[in-house]
Chain A
């Protein structure tokens, strides 16, 4: 289980009182569950994910993984427990797909150790799991947006951690790829029991994928619970000042959110 307790965070600033980006944020994520992180731009979703990943150090509060505080783990140990998938990945140099996936093995290797046969096997397994095995030798830069995102997810799987933090994984993708990535994440959760925290602006994606959602606004958690009970019209209005219809959609099999207009 991942426990986030009373996290407060402010970016370093010249002002005497730095504005808090996160203010007393607490949440729990159970093993094998998928939790959605929802909130408007600037609500602190990305910052929260960075704190959980150990990239940013909070001014107060703790993050525990299976009861162990993350600051007591080495960077490598932490990277073996959880992997991060960014919104978009740009490469400066022409890495191939298999190069990208093998980089996920970094926290498992010693300083001068090269990837061996087992690392290769894990990387190929990750490619197969994300349906990208055929792309193995292609230059990463030549892939489509959806293919790139699948390869980045494969490289996170190669990290062999059982938790994924995904920061708006579909934000840069068109509808077809959004659907594809959502289906992939659901399948990984079912088959591998991968725990996920997904930040997203796409309420329908959250409804389709997440058992629970956490609603963030101005760095505070304003609601936290099962998706069916938390993703309500009232909460959507609170988050975005949007009047929306939230209904169970029988063909989709989950809640759907249809924005109607600005609420007053």
Chain B
């Protein structure tokens, strides 16, 4: 809210776009950085930030630093990456499809990614392509496949994408994929099934840096794609024909947007399972604060998405400590009501 106040200069006339982007990135960046630094301090053992970063104590003797960097930071960084990837994917889907209810969950993209990742895990697929291992690849393939089905359905009729077809298609694809997921689980052995169920709830059980690094490759590609999009998303969200008449290359923009969002969602799901509702809550909260301009909404959602999921994970870790809840339960309990509110506000 402080950001919004700053963007309104005296006399009601707004500051320039450049200034508003700077303020937005600075404000939400501070929030995300604070979340990354302070979230690891909370847990069964209390540690001090000052001690953890104290260079005068040798690392081998610095218990606080070991807990900070080895036990807790990977989980927090994973939350940051997953949160921002899902939030930005949500923003992109909503703008592209001109539908505030679109998100990786409602379009079935998360379910597709889950199925891909689960197949790779259950059947122990072990291959890699360009340094990316089987699980992220399978989950990217799954997300792209699900998106192709839903998007194909909703654009099949010439009259543009229909909101109804889109959401019903998403729900249907999700139900279908859930059945396939259940089937795969049925084939898996008992301990495997238990792990899968936990994973499907969306959990940030990341205890080392290697899965983060693995997810970073597809995410970097997705970020590069997202970076080209903001202004085109503004124009497309008004109408794709008016955007085309203003010089936007619609087909190319759609392709970049859909592939980037599938990559980001796939990478997020391969890291943490299908964490629901982040892609819908974060973009709408951000729009309430910074307005509709995607040059503000996109970076703000990335940063706020990171802080948001770190916060949810903090709740998941502390609410019934020493037990750790899957973070997906927390986001779903927070997100369900927000989704309903949006639905009623729109219809």
Contact = CB atoms under 8 A, between A and B. Distances in A.
Contact of B247 (A89, A91, A100, A107): A107
Contacts of B295: 114
Interface stretch (B77-85, B236-244, B326-334): B236-244
B254 interface: no
A92 interface: yes
Interface in B228-268: 228, 231, 234-235, 237-239, 241-242, 244-249
Given A99-B292, A114-B18, A115-B17, A89 B242 contact: yes
A93 B287 contact: yes
A137 B244 CA distance: 26
A155 B239 CA distance: 14
B292 A103 contact: no
A86 B242 contact: yes
B94 interface: yes
Contact of B238 (A83, A94, A103, A111): A103
B245 A55 contact: yes
B291 interface: yes
Interface residues of B, number: 32
Contacts of B94: 92
B72 interface: no
A179 interface: no
Interface string A190-205: 0000000000000000
Given A55-B241, A92-B95, A106 B246 contact: yes
A92 B249 contact: no
Given A75-B249, A92-B98, A106-B235, A114 B242 contact: no
B100 interface: yes
A91 B238 contact: yes
Contacts of B239: 86, 89-90
B12 interface: yes
Contacts of A237: none
B14 interface: yes
Given A106-B247, A107-B247, A94 B292 contact: yes
Interface residues of A, number: 39
Contacts of B247: 74-76, 78-80, 106-107
B234 A103 contact: yes
A90 B65 CA distance: 54
B98 A107 contact: no
Nearest to A78: B247
A48 interface: no
A158 B242 CA distance: 14
Nearest to B97: A92
A98 interface: yes
Interface in B1-37: 12, 14, 16-18, 21
B238 to A, nearest CB: 6
B17 A79 contact: no
Given A92-B237, A111-B228, A137 B242 contact: no
Given A98-B14, A99-B291, A79 B231 contact: no
A75 B241 CA distance: 12
Interface in A39-59: 50, 53-55
Which of A11, A86, A93 has its CB near the most chain B CB atoms (within 10 A)? A93
25 contacts: A11-B158, A50-B241, A54-B244, A55-B241, A83-B245, A84-B241, A84-B242, A86-B239, A86-B242, A89-B238, A91-B292, A92-B98, A92-B100, A93-B287, A93-B292, A95-B234, A95-B291, A99-B234, A99-B293, A103-B234, A106-B235, A107-B247, A120-B16, A137-B12, A159-B246
Given A74-B247, A95-B293, 7 more contacts: A75-B244, A75-B247, A83-B245, A91-B238, A93-B292, A96-B292, A100-B238
Interface of A: 11, 50, 53-55, 74-76, 78-80, 83-84, 86, 89-96, 98-100, 103-104, 106-107, 109, 111, 114-117, 120, 137, 159, 165
Q: Which 7 A-B pairs have the closest CB atoms?
A: A93-B292, A79-B247, A76-B247, A84-B245, A107-B247, A75-B247, A95-B292
